[in-house]
Chains A and B, each alone.
Chain A
Amino acid sequence: MERVLIVGAGAGGTMLANALDPRRFEVTVIGASADHLFQPGLLYVAFRGASARRLARPERQLLRRSVRFVQEAVTRIDLNRHSLTTAAQQQFDYDTVVIATGVVTDRAQIPGLAAWGERIGDYHSTVAEAQKLWRALAAFRGGTIALGQSTPLIKCPPSPIEGILLTDALLRRRGRRAQSKLVFLTPYPRAYPAEAMNAILEPVLRARGIEIRTVFDVDQVDAASGAIRSLEGDTLACDLPILIPPFAGAAITYEPAGVVDNDRLLKTDKTTLRVQGVEHAFALGDATNLPTSKAGVGAHLEAKVIARQLNGEAAAFSGRTHCPVDLADGRGTFVIGSYAAAVVPCRPTRMRHWMKMAMARIYWISLRGWLEPMFDWYFARTAPEKLAGGATARP
């Protein structure tokens, strides 16, 4: 039987493992953590004080019984020799490897950010960091909050806008909005990078009295005052700098070393998802350098493309994105695009917000692959090529 080794037990790695036919493949998943975290839930832990109880489940329970799960951190992958090594010095050989190790936040890249992260946490790292941010927001009595991404590379591109809108809603509920100034920072020339969705989202920010600072690339944060300095030489005074930290790929040494870029992301073919320059190796999800949003939806669709190729079928990844945006007023929308189709306008509705919330419930069974017929139908119905033809996105 063909030995498939999947490194990383997150959204993409788990879906792929469950999608492979156990009669044809001997599947092993190596994951650094015993628990699997539903990352989108961090938003509500940080900005609503939501319970984290249902956000994590033991990875073993999420995988088919036939899949072998090894809880270990991988430290070295030799793509020439088809073998990898873990932190405990275990060695594994494979016929095909799939790298699905995601990304990790790296505060050290921005001077002053580590000190602020220590104090106020963030909503892109762990449950504990998100809870720390909730405590900092709960203790906030008034002043200036600046929120934004510290570098252009983040996961879930709508999450900064969701963060500032949820902060606004929180301060209003607490009766602190009048004493607070909210500033949204972005390295892009507009609030949301894709113009079609910016036209919908920017007016929402303005209507809520949020100041927008565009083309602001964070250089450093003053560890004492919280003032943020940009690469362009501007300084923004603020009391609470809520910055999404920079990201980097997993700390794994590769042979050959050239398969990863400066951010330790795997150089991956856009459509076949093969790691460039080597054989029998694929990469998927956040761990790749694919020119598309780092989101669970991509990891999901990429897992399907790899599964089909391993089955000997032809399959290509379309670059499809479908990222939900919570407008913090009961409405939601999606950012929908692909390699070939520019992002299409998608009107915020209550139904779309409900769909985002429903995902938190169906996530665990969707990892098993049981909802694939529904997802296939839904993604086909909301294909950007279709929506761009003048039809408005439904439902």
Chain B
Amino acid sequence: MANEADAQKTLVDARGSSCPGPITDLAMAYRRAKKGDVIELWGTDPGMPPDVKAWAEKTHNEVVSIETQADKIVAVVRILNR
């Protein structure tokens, strides 16, 4: 059973990655995550927001937020399906 206290927050820095792109780093972090964990993904690839949404929908995980900042895009994803 997922225990909130065990849940981890991981920061994944994929800035500069356009090929294969930030989804590579998100999916690698997902493989290591457990239910309840939160992954914060940083990227600069303009394709990142739609990709993170499509990825989360298909993997049944939750996009907590996606924000485009001056120097990077920050997506926060909560893992529900592991």
State the A residues within 8 Å of B (CB).
151-153, 157, 187-189, 193-195, 197, 214-215, 217, 231-233, 262-263, 270, 291-293, 319, 321, 323, 335, 337-343
> Can you list 7 A-B contacts (CB < 8 A)?
A187-B23, A188-B55, A193-B23, A214-B58, A231-B82, A232-B59, A291-B25
B24 touches A193 (CB 8 A): yes
Q: Does B67 contact A (CB under 8 A)?
A: no
If the complex has contacts A152-B27, A231-B82, A291-B16, are A215 and B59 also in contact, measured as CB distance less than 8 A? yes
Which residues in B have their C-beta under 8 angstroms from that of A187? 23, 27
Which residues in A have their C-beta under 8 angstroms from that of B19? 157, 193-194, 197, 292-293, 321, 323, 335, 337, 343
By the criterion of a CB under 8 Å from any partner CB, how many residues of chain B are at the interface?
27
B20 touches A157 (CB 8 A): yes
B46 touches A151 (CB 8 A): no
Which residues in B have their C-beta under 8 angstroms from that of A340? 16
Complex Cα spacing A292 to B55, Å: 20
Using A152-B27, A187-B23, A189-B54 as known contacts, list a sample of 4 further A-B pairs with CB atoms less than 8 Å apart, ordered by residue number in A.
A187-B27, A188-B55, A194-B47, A215-B54
Complex Cα spacing A270 to B45, Å: 16
B18 touches A189 (CB 8 A): no
34-82 of chain B: CB within 8 A of chain A: 45-47, 51, 54-55, 58-60, 81-82
Which residues in A have their C-beta under 8 angstroms from that of B60? 232
Query: Which of A188, A233, A323 has a CB less than 8 Å from the CB of B23?
Result: A188
A219, closest chain B residue (CB): B31
B21 touches A231 (CB 8 A): no
Shortest Cβ gap from B14 to chain A (Å):
6
Which residues in A have their C-beta under 8 angstroms from that of B30? 217, 231
Complex Cα spacing A184 to B11, Å: 30
Which residues in B have their C-beta under 8 angstroms from that of A321? 19
Shortest Cβ gap from B18 to chain A (Å):
5
Complex Cα spacing A212 to B54, Å: 15
If the complex has contacts A193-B20, A232-B60, are A342 and B31 also in contact, measured as CB distance less than 8 A? no
Please provide the 3 A-B residue pairs with the shortest distance between their CB atoms, ordered closest to farther.
A291-B17, A215-B58, A339-B16
Complex Cα spacing A195 to B81, Å: 26
Which residues in B have their C-beta under 8 angstroms from that of A193? 19-21, 23-24
B26, closest chain A residue (CB): A152
Complex Cα spacing A231 to B21, Å: 20
Which residues in A have their C-beta under 8 angstroms from that of B21? 188, 193-194
Complex Cα spacing A291 to B26, Å: 12
A194 touches B18 (CB 8 A): yes
Shortest Cβ gap from B47 to chain A (Å):
5
Query: Which of B15, B31, B54 has a CB less than 8 Å from the CB of A151?
Result: B31
If the complex has contacts A214-B58, A215-B55, are A338 and B18 also in contact, measured as CB distance less than 8 A? yes
